[in-house]
Copies of this chain bind each other. A is one copy, B any other.
Amino acid sequence: MLKGTNQEVGRPHNRRIVLETIRQHGPLPRVEIARRIGLTTQTVSTITSELHERGFVALRPGVPKGRGFPAPSLEINPDGGYACGVYVTPRGLEAGLINLSGKVLARKAVSAPQMSADTAFAHIGAMVREMVADCPRERFIGAGMAMPGPFDIESMSFVGPTTMEGWRGVDVGDRLQKAVGYPAFVEVDSAAAAHCERLYGVGEELFNFYYLYMGVGLGGCVIYDGQVIRGAWGNAGEIGHVPLVPDGDPCPCGNHGCLERYLSLEAYARRTPVIGEAGWLEETAPLLRSAIVTIENLFDPETIVLGGLAPVELRLKLLALTADLPNSLAARQDRQHPRVILSRCGTDAVLRGAASLAITQVFSPRLPAPPRAAGDLFAKAGRARIE
């Protein structure tokens, strides 16, 4: 569980830190990177020359700004690497190729309801191979795949509108790995979308937020300290099955009054023909507000990001319903952001998030927290070897 560190661990870690800092805040001169990550310019220089050599970062010539050497800036080289993202749903497959900047360069899709796992992985293998062929082979990093959650919970995974039939007991990670032949990773769709938002959306400013994913069902994901909180088995975030309405609508999960029976695209599609969109919004508003209060009181996020498959227009209407929220611990004086905001990543969030999983896993810091200087018992003598 707990692991020690040595130079062999430290170097890759620092490399990831440097690259992630450049990715998130670049273009940056070396001194500035060094200042941020707490290492010397020399070290950053060594690391960045390696990253440059490998083509992951590009050097932008320095522009004179006052006295002194005009510092060249480092930025991500978008074409330094590519990754594939696959989104598997009960309606079919979507796949995309992204570059290091998270831009979608190519896209493929297979439409077929309730694909079997065998068929799906055959398609996935083929799609990924085609996409890899479109980019420099040695620059392909890996693939990520997203699916509606939860995984491996028979009583929940295989019923309801987000059901994947015939996928019972399939070792998805292993199958993906074998199908693509590159490093492969799997994530629940809402977590993948949250990951995208963290990397390419609001995550540029926010390190702690809750991502509410309004898809066919309703999912969510906490980003805490910049990290996706996945739960013990990677299934955290099934906010759609929070029982907010006692004795409410029966849900395929077996309970009654689950939130996603009211707040989800499935609910929208089911209700609007009956009562119209305005009626649905009115009916859903109190539940949305309750959901927000629940999230705020449980997670204390900086903000809640409203994302998912739902079209922007609809999400804007939902956002409007949150103008007048009930009290919660989010009602603090010194808020930097509204309590609810819109996602900045488009409908490709899941795809890009899934693909960037591979990039993150291969590159990014699973960070060592800096030991705080809080009464260090080893302050001085710690440096001397004990005889």
**A133 interface residue per 8 A CB criterion:** no
A252 CB to closest chain B CB (Å) equals: 10
**What separation, in Å, do the CA atoms of A141 and B243 have in the docked complex?**
45
**A323 interface residue per 8 A CB criterion:** no
**A178 interface residue per 8 A CB criterion:** no
Q: Which B residues touch A298, using CB under 8 A?
A: 220, 236-239, 242, 298
Do A243 and B382 have beta carbons less than 8 Å apart?
no
Q: 0/1 per residue, A218-255, Cβ < 8 Å to B?
A: 00101010100111111111111111111000000111
**What separation, in Å, do the CA atoms of A206 and B71 have in the docked complex?**
50
Do B361 and A372 have beta carbons less than 8 Å apart?
yes
**A167 interface residue per 8 A CB criterion:** no
Interface segment out of the listed A33-41, A89-97, A194-202: A33-41
| For the complex of A and B, 9 pairs with smallest distance between CB atoms | A368-B368, A231-B300, A183-B375, A366-B369, A208-B232, A4-B39, A254-B327, A238-B297, A236-B300
Chain A residues within CB distance 8 Å of chain B: 1-7, 9-18, 20-21, 36-39, 43, 46, 49-50, 53-54, 81, 141-142, 149-150, 152-156, 182-183, 185, 207-208, 220, 222, 224, 226, 229-246, 253-255, 286, 290, 293-294, 297-302, 326-329, 331-333, 358, 361-363, 365-372, 374-378, 382, 385-386
A–B Cβ pairs within 8 angstroms, 28 of them: A1-B226, A2-B365, A3-B367, A3-B369, A12-B371, A16-B371, A46-B385, A46-B386, A50-B382, A53-B386, A81-B377, A141-B375, A153-B329, A156-B327, A156-B329, A183-B375, A220-B298, A229-B229, A232-B302, A233-B332, A237-B298, A238-B298, A238-B300, A239-B298, A254-B326, A255-B293, A255-B326, A363-B377
